[in-house]
């Protein structure tokens, strides 16, 4: 019960920080999101650091320089060149990692592949989030984050309170069918909260693209279906992170967030949600 309470309090504190940055962005005038972009850059840097530390503890001698290069270059490249800038940054950083493998005999093949993996997860998805906000405003990212977060929260509480049969005990021993089904409702609910706050209310935010404009007659259906799809994908993201932790033989990526574990432990579901939303936006805009 104590851990349950601590997790709730920390979760609410993290939500308050997120809402604070969204509020600051709204004060900017709705024409950009510099405060939110700054938050994403800090999140990217810390997530990369967290992953580097975790894999080093597992015995991998990752090359840090290409990862630092990607984190430093990704925002200006996205600002000027959009998705092209993102992919160029990822490609150049990967080539640099290959170069270290070629010319430094201390870097093994596994070390090099792990360095590239960290570029792909978590650096690249957070870069996708930055690109989405640059191209479409904040609504798509907020839908992805809110649906994933509420789905994850309701799945955790339902799984803890109701219990029942486990889904994938060999990968994530705490996940239950009751939690997953409740999580689907949380995904739709999270998307509808974004609709209520930023399209109906509307609170000030950079809304360069809105879903009511894209789907004038079916926007409610879109929000519900998108939230449900995000809930499904975010569950896969959570399982993916759990599998990584099992391979690295760790319980959490770090203890930075107390009962919530590390930053990546909270981002795992959001990362996959962001990638799904980015794909959807490429088709509908």
**Is the Cβ–Cβ distance between 66 and 94 less than 8 Å?**
yes
The pTM for the full model equals 0.91
Sequential DSSP letters for 1-48: -HHHHHHHHHHHHHHHHHHHHHHHHHHTTSS--HHHHHHHHHHHHHHH
Q: Distance between CA 71 and CA 130 in Å, rounded?
A: 12
User: What confidence tens digit (pLDDT) does each residue in 76-90 have?
Assistant: 999 999 999 999 999
In this predicted model, what pLDDT tens digit does every residue of 170-224 receive, in sequence order? 666 667 777 788 889 999 999 999 999 999 988 888 888 999 999 999 999 999 9
**Any bridge partners for residue 166, and if so which?**
176
Q: pLDDT (tens digit, 9 = 90+) per residue, 3-46?
A: 566 666 666 777 778 878 877 777 765 556 888 899 999 999 99
């Amino acid at each position: 019960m104590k851990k349950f309470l601590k997790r709730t309090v920390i979760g609410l504190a993290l939500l308050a920080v997120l809402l604070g940055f969204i509020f600051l962005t709204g004060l900017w005038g709705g024409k950009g999101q510099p405060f939110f972009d700054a938050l994403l850059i800090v999140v990217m840097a810390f997530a990369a650091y967290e992953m580097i530390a975790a894999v080093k503890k597992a015995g991998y001698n990752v090359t840090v320089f290409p990862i630092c290069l990607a984190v430093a270059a990704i925002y200006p490249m996205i600002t000027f060149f959009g998705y092209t800038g993102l992919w160029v940054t990822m490609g150049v950083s990967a080539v640099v990692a290959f170069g270290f493998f070629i010319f430094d005999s201390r870097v093994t093949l596994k070390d090099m592949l792990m360095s590239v993996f960290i570029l792909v997860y978590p650096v690249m998805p957070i870069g996708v989030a930055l690109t989405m906000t640059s191209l479409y405003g904040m609504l798509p990212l907020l839908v992805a984050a809110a649906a994933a977060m509420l789905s994850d929260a309701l799945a955790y509480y339902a799984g803890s309170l109701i219990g029942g049969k486990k889904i994938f005990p060999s990968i994530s021993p705490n996940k239950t069918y009751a939690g997953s089904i409740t999580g689907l409702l949380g995904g739709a609910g999270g998307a509808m909260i974004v609709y209520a706050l930023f399209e109906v209310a509307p609170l000030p935010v950079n809304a360069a693209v809105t879903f009511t404009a894209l789907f004038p007659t079916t926007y409610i259906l879109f929000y519900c279906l998108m939230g449900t799809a995000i809930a499904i994908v975010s569950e896969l993201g959570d399982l993916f992170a759990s599998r990584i932790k099992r391979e690295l033989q760790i319980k959490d990526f770090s203890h930075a967030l107390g009962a919530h574990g590390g930053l990546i432990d909270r981002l795992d579901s959001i990362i996959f949600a962001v990638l799904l939303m980015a794909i959807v936006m490429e088709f509908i805009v």
